[in-house]
Amino acid sequence: MQTKYFLNFTLILFINFITHSQVGTLIWEDNFNSGQLDLTKWNYEEGTGVNGDFGTGQLDRATQRIENVSFQNNVNGAEDGCLVITTRQEFYIDRNYTSGRINTAGKASWGPGHRIVTRAYPRDVKQKGQGFAFWMMPDEIPNGWDYIMWPQGGEIDIMEYVGSIPYHNLGSVHYAWFWENNQWQSWNHGHKGFYYSFETDQVPNPSEPGYGGYPPTLNDPNAGSTGFHNYGIDWYTDRIEFFVDNYVYHIHYLNDGGIFQVDGQDGDTIMTIENNRVGVSEYSNHFNEWFPFEHNMYAILSAGVGGQDYTYGGSIVPEAEFPCSVFIDWVKVYEIDGNLGIHENDTKTNFNVFPNPAYDILNIHIENPIEYSFKIIDISGKILVEDTLEQSSAIDVSNFKKGIYLVLVSNSKITMSVIYLHFSHCKFSLFL
């Protein structure tokens, strides 16, 4: 009796080039050159959140004092004047720390079809308990509703730089998986994000993430993100691309599709572009009443002190020095010309591998098979199968031994690969 095997797959795409979409019209900006906050564009946000809690367990009170929100010229590396948001260790009203927070709520908001970007330098954010963020929250409420609860309304964290993970920026989204009687079920909070490493200019190696090697060494230039960088998103109708200095390190799909098998589930993986690792994630629209990333959101610039271990750097350590200042050179918003982004037209080839599970035959279906070929390679690098790819190709895998294999599907511009992680008994199954 012939033994059949179970095969797991992890999908990684190798695309031979990377391009951004052409950014179109600049529609909104603040260069922070006037020496005072432009109240036609921004609001001060004071206090400690709802019922004394921003949702992060922070220990600070946000104020509009110049001690916390100020302006400075002649900052080294800045293009012009800077907004300076500073956290301080001082007793004020009811807290032992103060901070600054501003937002564009009710004055400016943006949705799909826009690039939202800031140039910032979290200079002093180097230890646990210190943090800064450039992020977005919903500026719309569903018809007939008085309010919208978090995270159903959605949240986009364009820049999260915290001292507990020096050398890294986190780009992520929050949303609700499931609601019941218009109430968010806490165990179904969705969070998808990836870190960008300033040391390697890519997503950390999944097997050796490092995450900054906390604690940082004294005066390590990589802590504090090494200087000014551009942190932004390109927000499309089907995905959000997170970038630092125009390098895309995280692509978040807003529904099933993209490189993921249509499965009705959330997923994430790593793909490689120009030999750099890019995190890819998705969420399915798990609820019918509100699709958060189809709606406008306003921008927020905020600093924080302390919090839970997973927010704003965690509990404060004695090494955390205050005042802790972050410099924001500018914030700009563009209309995006077209909807291409990192994926040019000829990289949008749709292909399916099925069935799942498969037993003896592995099928590859590709919409446009012209000039595509495939290879199956074992762990030693030996090519076991090589052929041109037809629209539907059936590959006999019944005689494959237990092991690790690589499938390459390519043409002159694109190479897409599927890694065979392992065989186990009973059946041959594929996961993308």
Can you give the pTM of this predicted structure?
Answer: 0.76
List the one residue out of 34, 35, 58, 38 whose CA is nearest residue 48: 58
| 5-16+344-425 maps to CATH 2.60.40.420 | no
- Which residue reads 């924001």 in tokens? 328
Residue that wins the pLDDT comparison between 374 and 43: 43
The tokens describing 202, both together, are: 């890519």
- The reported pLDDT for the residue numbered 331 is 98
Question: Confidence band (pLDDT; 50, 70, 90) for 369?
Answer: low
Reduced 3-state DSSP string for 90-157? EEECCEEEEECEEECCCCCCECCCEEEEEEEECCCCCCCCEEEEEEEEECCCCCCCCCCCCCCCCEEE
Q: Report how far apart, in Å, the C-alpha atoms of 73 and of each of 2, 64, 79, 125, 344 are.
A: 76, 19, 10, 20, 40
Does pLDDT of 414 surpass 60?
A: no
- The reported pLDDT for the residue numbered 6 is 36
Question: Confidence band (pLDDT; 50, 70, 90) for 353?
Answer: low
Any idea which fold 23-336 has? Jelly Rolls (2.60.120)
Instruction: Report the alpha-carbon distance of residue 328 to residue 28 in Å, rounded.
Output: 16
Select, from the ranges 22-36, 303-317, 378-392, 400-414, the one with the highest average predicted confidence (pLDDT). Answer: 22-36
Question: Confidence band (pLDDT; 50, 70, 90) for 16?
Answer: very low
The residues spanned by each domain of the chain are 5-16+344-425, 23-336
Does pLDDT of 399 surpass 60?
A: yes
In the three-class reduction of DSSP (H, G, I as helix; E, B as strand; rest coil), residue 245 is classed as coil
Instruction: Report the alpha-carbon distance of residue 384 to residue 332 in Å, rounded.
Output: 52
Q: Report how far apart, in Å, the C-alpha atoms of 327 and of each of 100, 116, 119, 160 are.
A: 12, 17, 9, 14
Does pLDDT of 52 surpass 70?
A: yes
Does pLDDT of 429 surpass 60?
A: no
Question: Confidence band (pLDDT; 50, 70, 90) for 348?
Answer: very low
Query: Is 173 in contact with 193 (CB distance < 8 Å)?
Result: yes
- The reported pLDDT for the residue numbered 8 is 35
Does pLDDT of 320 surpass 70?
A: yes
- The reported pLDDT for the residue numbered 391 is 66
Specify the range with the lowest mean pLDDT, choosing from 62-76, 225-239, 306-320, 325-339.
Answer: 306-320
Q: What is the mean pLDDT of the chain?
A: 80
Query: Is 171 in contact with 155 (CB distance < 8 Å)?
Result: no
- Which residue reads 């019209």 in tokens? 25
Helices (H) and strands (E) in the chain, counts: 0, 29
In the three-class reduction of DSSP (H, G, I as helix; E, B as strand; rest coil), residue 401 is classed as coil
- With 0-12 / 13-18 / 19 or more C-beta atoms within 10 angstroms meaning exposed / middle / buried, residue 97 is buried
For residue 220, count other CB atoms closer than 10 A to its CB.
15
Residue that wins the pLDDT comparison between 406 and 246: 246
Does pLDDT of 85 surpass 80?
A: yes
Percentage of the chain beyond pLDDT 70 is 73
Q: Provide the 8-state DSSP code for 258.
A: T
- The reported pLDDT for the residue numbered 363 is 72
